[in-house]
Amino acid sequence: MRAVTFQAAGDVRLEERPDPELQAADDAVVRVEATGICGSDLHIYHGRVAIEPGFVIGHEYVGTVVAAGDGVTEVSVGDRVLGTYCTACGACFFCRRGEYHKCDGGRVFGHGAALGSLQGAQAEMVLVPNANLTLRRVPEGMSNDVALFAGDVAGTGYHAICGDAARPEPLEPGASVAVLGLGPVGLCAVQVAKASGASAVIAVDTVEDRLRMAESFGATAVHLTEDDPRARVKELTEGRGVDLSVDAVGHPDALDLACRVARKAGTVSVIGVYAERAEVHMGVVWIKALRWRTGHANVIGHLDRVLAMLSAGVIDPGPLVTHHMSLDEAPEAYAVYDRREALKIVLTP
């Protein structure tokens, strides 16, 4: 089969790979019909994530089950399915508590040996372990463009607003929210916040198109530098700050702003990725008695809810797909994405 492989920073290629085969009783093999390029693929593309040359990348996909082990009960050969970007064993301490994102044996598609040596989904076929947890039938009538979001970006936006599925903290309807950073995750968070009955959703970024899109989803768009986010939040929340602020950037400045715009006893949701040390104004955090939620989304835990919302049209990430290209055009697609010309690119094998 053809597959997109990482070679070196800035260099991804289409290569031939052997078709994947079932290895465990709960494995499935999926013939991919659509696969997305994600912000985290860009980290790989930039060479900032250690990954073996030749490794197949990609972790967002929709397709059809072409083989399934004996232990696979939730989907069947022939089913049109979508998948989550990572796996979970379903048996360890963390999985038993529903904390699938912290599974002791969790692996991520297309991220090399460091995250479990699981070949990626930007390929004609993909081997899917733990299929009962990681695959779900695509609800009838749902497009590939929408289905692609369920197991990654939309689930992450859901997590940003509603907390960990193992300990859900859905928004109280009427609450106020600020989302800092309007990439695909931030924009999905905006949608989920609006869908949760937020009385105000303040969306902050520097890119005009993203601000306009957030606005089209019902948010109040605030330019990070040309406007004054802290002042605007105050104005829109009777001077208090928001009940929930989301750092969807992953940069200390965003985290600091998230803490500043949250109200006393409010919550800061840190969904943007952090890998290093950062200076935090603990005095502000502490005197305001903030709560923090951090880390990867529990996309497996959220999947049923997210699918139900997508299926009912309660949220619709469709508008985030700005480009459709063929799998063969992957090298060009990565270049386009790298130039920030696209929000979400969907590749078709």
- The answer to whether residue 278 forms part of the interface with its own copies (CB under 8 A) is yes
- Interface residue with its own copies among 168, 207, 223, 338 (CB under 8 A) is 168
Least distance (Å) between residue 330 CB and its own copies: 28
Segment lying near its own copies (by CB under 8 A), choices 1-9, 22-30, 48-56, 117-125: 22-30
- Which of 71, 113, 227, 326 lies at the binding interface for its own copies (CB under 8 A)? 71
Q: Is 113 in the site for its own copies (CB under 8 A)?
A: no
Return the C-alpha torsion angle 138, 140, 144, 145, nearest 10: -110
Interface pick for its own copies out of 304, 318, 332, 341 (rule CB under 8 A): 304
CA distance 233 to 262: 9
Nearest to 128 by CA among 220, 41, 15, 24: 24
Query: What residues contact residue 312 under an 8 Å CB cut-off, 6+ apart?
Result: none
Distance CA 187, CA 153 (A): 9
By CB under 8 A, name the one of 43, 240, 323, 324 that touches its own copies: 240
Contacts of 310 (CB under 8 A, 6+ apart): 139, 142, 146, 147, 149, 150, 154, 316, 317
Q: Is 48 in the site for its own copies (CB under 8 A)?
A: no
The yes or no reply on residue 316 touching its own copies (CB under 8 A) is no
Does the protein bind its own copies through residue 306 (CB under 8 A)? yes
Question: Quick check: 196 binds its own copies (CB under 8 A)?
Answer: yes
- Candidate list 31, 260, 291, 323; residue touching its own copies; CB under 8 A: 291
Residue among 1, 14, 115, 314 that touches its own copies (CB under 8 A): 314
By rule CB under 8 A, what string of x and - marks binding of each residue 89-108 to its own copies?
xxxxxx-xxxx-xx------
Distance CA 180, CA 245 (A): 8
77 binds its own copies (CB under 8 A): no
Nearer to its own copies, 255 or 333 (CB): 255
If the CB atoms of residues 225 and 286 are measured against its own copies, the closer one turns out to be 286
Q: Is 251 exposed, middle or buried (0-12, 13-18, 19+ CB in 10 A)?
A: middle
Q: What region does 308 belong to: left with phi over 0, alpha with psi -120 to 50, or beta?
A: alpha
Q: Is 166 in the site for its own copies (CB under 8 A)?
A: yes
- Per the CB < 8 A criterion, the answer to whether 269 and 298 are in contact is no
Find, among 216, 168, 218, 215, the residue nearest to 193 by Cα. 218
Q: Shortest Cβ distance from residue 166 to its own copies (Å)?
A: 7
Angle between helices 299-312 and 153-162 (to 10 degrees): 100
We find the least distance from the C-beta atom of residue 272 to its own copies, in angstroms, to be 9
